[in-house]
Amino acid sequence: MKQANKKAFRNDWTQSEVVSLMTKPFNDLIFEAQEVHRTYFDPNIIQLSTLMNIKTGGCPEDCAYCPQSAHYNTDINPGKLLALESVLAQARAAQEKGATRFCMGAAWRQPKQRDLETVMAMVAAVKNMGLQTCVTLGMLQESQAQDLKSAGLDYYNHNLDSSPEFYSKIISTRDYQERLDTLAFVRKAGINVCCGGIIGMGEGVRDRAGLLISLANMDVQPESVPINSLVRVAGTPLDKAEDIDPVEFVRVIACARIMMPTSNIRLSAGRSAMSEEMQALCFLAGANSIFYGEKLLTTDNPQLEADQKLFARLGIQSGHYQ
């Protein structure tokens, strides 16, 4: 990241303001986002993260988009928490392929303490390899966030998913405030926050604006903001959702960059369905991080060779941001 005032952001965005930003002429929006992006980042550097599922399926939550929910009949079979050596082997492979951050995800509502201790050992071992560490384990108690910090965790992912108003239409087993409470515990423990949402669940422009406002108006904005495009999975309530307009998705990326100028904006789930031209527009709009690898938890991710060829065509290099 370029040297800049880390407090050079606003946290008083209003919905009317963000809706106006999101609906302004596309060329003007992209130009503004690119100007902001160049102020804080090298526009030709993309940070690479790899995400590994360390415990699959059987989650008691009813998130309407998730194939790992026990509420839905999908082809995901519940599995046990993986052994440490299996995780380290994947971390080494990811590092060899250029990843600088290794993220570990477990399908839990909230980790049990005995499982958390196993994850802490994974975090310590992966960090010892020289990779940044990130986990997503569901809700946390304050003491659990402190335990993860003591293990050396760099980032904790806990997405808001949507706006407060739209949230109840996709999840009933956990409320919005519970997500905010976990994020507060993570921040208090001194762990970097990774928090974003999903686009394409049937929400409108005002809901997309509401999600970005919830993120940007935090006292300290998330260090990483993953923006996911819904991956429709048979057996989930959203498997028949309409495709998101690519231009509308790029608008969300651009607004996220303008509103959160010092955050890493990550192009996350759904990249498999994006054309190379759409991905290039996302990078132009300010996305400067991707998940890199063949799998993103339980859904496909673009093949490594395809990513490398796209980067070469665009003159993009992989790099590391703090």
d(CA 183, CA 249): 25
Question: 20: Cβ–Cβ under 8 A, 6 or more apart, which residues?
Answer: none
Phi/psi at 138 (nearest 5 deg)? Answer: 95, -155
Q: To which H or E segment does residue 274 belong?
A: none
Cα 173 from chain centroid (whole Å): 21
Q: Are 52 and 283 in contact (CB under 8 A)?
A: no
Catalytic option among 10, 38, 66, 251 = 66
* List 101, 103, 174, 282, catalytic entry: 103
Residue pair 48/100 in contact by the 8 Å Cβ criterion: yes
Three-state SS for 36-92 is: HHHHHCCCCEEEEEEEEEEECCCECCCCCCCCCECCCCCCCCCCCCCCHHHHHHHHH
Is 282 annotated in the active site? no
134 is catalytic: yes
195 is catalytic: no
Q: Is 232 a catalytic residue?
A: no
Give 103's strand partners. Answer: 51, 134
Catalytic pick among 251, 257, 266, 271: 266
Catalytic site residue 103?
yes
Pick the catalytic residue: 101, 174, 194, 232? 194
CA-to-CA distance for 263 and 289, rounded, in angstroms?
Answer: 10
Return the active site residues: 59, 63, 66, 103, 134, 194, 266
